[in-house]
Amino acid sequence: MASSTEQRRQEVLRAIVADYIASQEPVGSKALLDRHRMNVSSATIRNDMAVLESEGYIAQQHASSGRIPTEKGYRQFVDSIHNIKPLSLAERRAITGFLEGGVDLEDVLRRSVQLLSQLTRQAAVVQLPTLTVSRVKHCEVVQLSPVRLLLVLITDTGRVDQRNVELEEVFVETDVSRLRDLLNSALVGKSLTDASTSLAELVENAPEDLRSAVIKASTVLIETLVEQPSDRLILAGTSNLTRGVRHYPSGLPMVLEALEEQVVVLRLLANVRDLGDVSVYIGEENEVEELHGASVVTTAYGSDGATLGGLGVVGPTFMDYTGTISKVSAVARYVSRVLAGE
């Protein structure tokens, strides 16, 4: 069990982190005593700060200034957060009201990142559902003209793709419903990779009079299923990062360029854990070098217990970790509820 001296030093560290997050100004011993009413002498506080500095939790930028937290100090602070700060009733209402207005999954996710960037005043990012978890819900076939069809592919994650098919021969209405049934028998309930295989088999066994149309439709659908990028991202609030411009060691342009790189952000979101868990990466804990001056808070969203994608925020290392973790967690939870139709 930690001694009372160790516990006090942890309190001093938490106070320094909290004050620096609030002000972005170095924190001195006198300010700590004034603000946090610690029942010890200023000499004790100065001694605690000296120990914390020697252990690498805080640092002194200039000889006469107070101390600022190091990445190790932030990590200790984050690891000591046991209870997520509940959102206010107004925040909860704003989230549900805004997200429930979404017309489809992509709209809900677009709204979720806008909201997250506003609530946290950081850059927010969300990953559209990965194809590996999407399953085909339905394929609608609409006749646009005697020789042209519209295919509408709908997945259970709300993705909708529309493609035109040009036919080699005139199609009658009864053929449209037969083609629809054939395509759905091959597609419905299957993951997108399995659906591609199933369509290839369908072509082999297609009725002779529909063979040409089945080949044309299947080719278009396979291209839609396979070639569509599976990991699209929606980003919002990058302008929020300019508030901390002087605090990024590698320079803000490096951070912004990293966020523009889809592969980089996907690597951040690929680390999301199970639904309900929140991950925090501080400074050099980030694999991506350009983000060594930033902190990243991520979590997963999904439905029926399955993770569909990740969402999170990127900001300076002095972000309000308690509030950010709470808001990222809450938005993901509400997105999951909207997806589940609750």
pLDDT in tens, 110-165: 999 999 999 999 999 998 876 566 788 889 999 899 888 999 888 877 677 788 98
Whole-number Cα distances in Å, 71 to 106, 183, 254: 35, 55, 19
Q: Look at residue 314 in the predicted model and tell me its pLDDT.
A: 92
Residue 1 has pLDDT above 50, yes or no: no
Q: Look at residue 245 in the predicted model and tell me its pLDDT.
A: 59
Residue 229 has pLDDT above 70, yes or no: no
Q: Look at residue 281 in the predicted model and tell me its pLDDT.
A: 92
Q: Nearest Cα to 171, choosing from 207, 187, 147, 192? A: 147
Contact assessment for residue 106 and residue 128, using Cβ atoms and an 8 Å cutoff: yes
Q: How many CA atoms lie within 13 A of 243 on its CB side?
A: 18
Contact assessment for residue 278 and residue 116, using Cβ atoms and an 8 Å cutoff: no
Report CA 165 to chain centroid distance, whole Å.
35
Of 64-78, 84-98, 232-246, 320-334, minimum mean pLDDT range: 232-246
**Does residue 254 or residue 146 have the better pLDDT?**
146
Q: How many CA atoms lie within 13 A of 6 on its CB side?
A: 5
pLDDT in tens, 22-78: 988 899 888 888 888 888 888 899 999 999 999 999 998 777 678 999 999 999 999
Structural domains present in the chain: 4-79 (1.10.10.10), 89-130+231-339 (3.30.450.40), 136-227 (3.30.390.60)
CA distance linking residue 63 with residue 55, whole number of Å: 18
Contact assessment for residue 327 and residue 120, using Cβ atoms and an 8 Å cutoff: yes
Report CA 262 to chain centroid distance, whole Å.
13
Q: If you average pLDDT over every residue of the chain, what do you get?
A: 84
Residue 86 has pLDDT above 80, yes or no: yes
Task: Report the range out of 44-53, 84-93, 230-239, 289-298 with the highest average pLDDT.
Answer: 44-53
